[in-house]
C-alpha cells in the first residue's frame, strides 16, 4: 500500500509561482508512474503531469506545458510540481496519484491510478 500526502498549495496572483510537494510512504517509489491531477468545482478531474520512474520520462497536459515541471527525489521520497506563470484557470485542488501496476496505456486517464493523496488547494487570482 502507498500513502500520498500533498502540500505547498496556496494563494498566488496570476503570473506567480508555486511548488507542490507529494511525500510518499509504504511501498515508496516502487510505483511505475506518479502523476499530478487537478479538479476545479463542477469539473472533471484533469491530468496535469506524470513521470515514469524507471525511464525518467515526463508528460504534460497541453494546458501546462512549458509552465509546469514535474520531478522526483528518491532520497526525500517525494515528487514535486513546480508551477510557473500561473493563470486563474489553474485554480483547483491538486492531487498526487500513483500507479503500481504495469500498464501500457497512456498516463492521462485518472482510473489507471491506484492511490491518491487528499489534495492541496491552489488559487490563482487575477
For the segment 17-42, the average pLDDT, to the nearest whole number, is 87
Question: What pLDDT is recorded for position 27?
Answer: 67
Measure the CA–CA gap between 83 and 74, rounded to whole angstroms.
Answer: 20
Which of helix, strand or coil describes residue 115? strand
What was the pLDDT predicted at 124? 98
64 and 81 Cβ atoms separated by less than 8 Å: no
Query: What pLDDT score was predicted for residue 28?
Result: 59
Q: Tell me the three state secondary structure of residue 111.
A: helix
pLDDT of residue 42: 94
Kindly state the percentage of the chain with pLDDT values over 90: 74
70-81 per-position pLDDT tens digit: 998 877 778 999
Say if strands 18-26 and 2-7 run parallel, antiparallel, or are unpaired.
antiparallel
Task: Check pLDDT > 90 for residue 43.
Answer: yes
What is the spatial distance between Cα 81 and Cα 48, in angstroms, rounded to a whole number?
A: 9
Q: Which spans in 1-126 are helix H? A: none
Residue pLDDT, tens place only, 47-57 = 999 998 877 89
Residue 44 has pLDDT above 90, yes or no: yes
3-state secondary structure of 89: helix
Tracing cell 484557470 back to the chain, one arrives at 89
* 41 and 122 Cβ atoms separated by less than 8 Å: no
Amino acid at each position: 500500500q502507498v500513502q500520498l500526502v500533498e502540500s505547498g498549495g496556496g494563494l498566488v496572483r496570476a503570473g506567480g509561482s508555486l511548488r507542490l510537494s507529494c511525500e510518499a510512504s509504504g511501498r515508496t517509489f516502487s510505483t511505475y508512474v506518479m502523476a499530478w491531477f487537478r479538479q476545479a468545482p463542477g469539473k472533471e478531474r484533469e491530468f496535469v503531469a506524470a513521470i515514469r520512474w524507471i525511464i525518467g520520462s515526463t508528460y504534460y497536459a497541453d494546458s501546462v506545458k512549458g509552465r509546469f515541471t514535474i520531478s522526483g527525489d528518491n532520497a526525500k521520497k517525494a515528487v514535486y510540481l513546480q508551477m510557473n506563470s500561473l493563470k486563474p484557470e489553474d485554480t483547483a485542488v491538486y492531487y498526487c496519484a500513483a500507479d503500481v501496476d504495469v500498464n501500457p496505456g497512456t498516463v492521462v486517464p485518472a482510473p489507471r491510478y491506484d492511490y491518491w493523496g487528499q489534495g492541496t488547494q491552489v488559487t490563482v487570482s487575477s
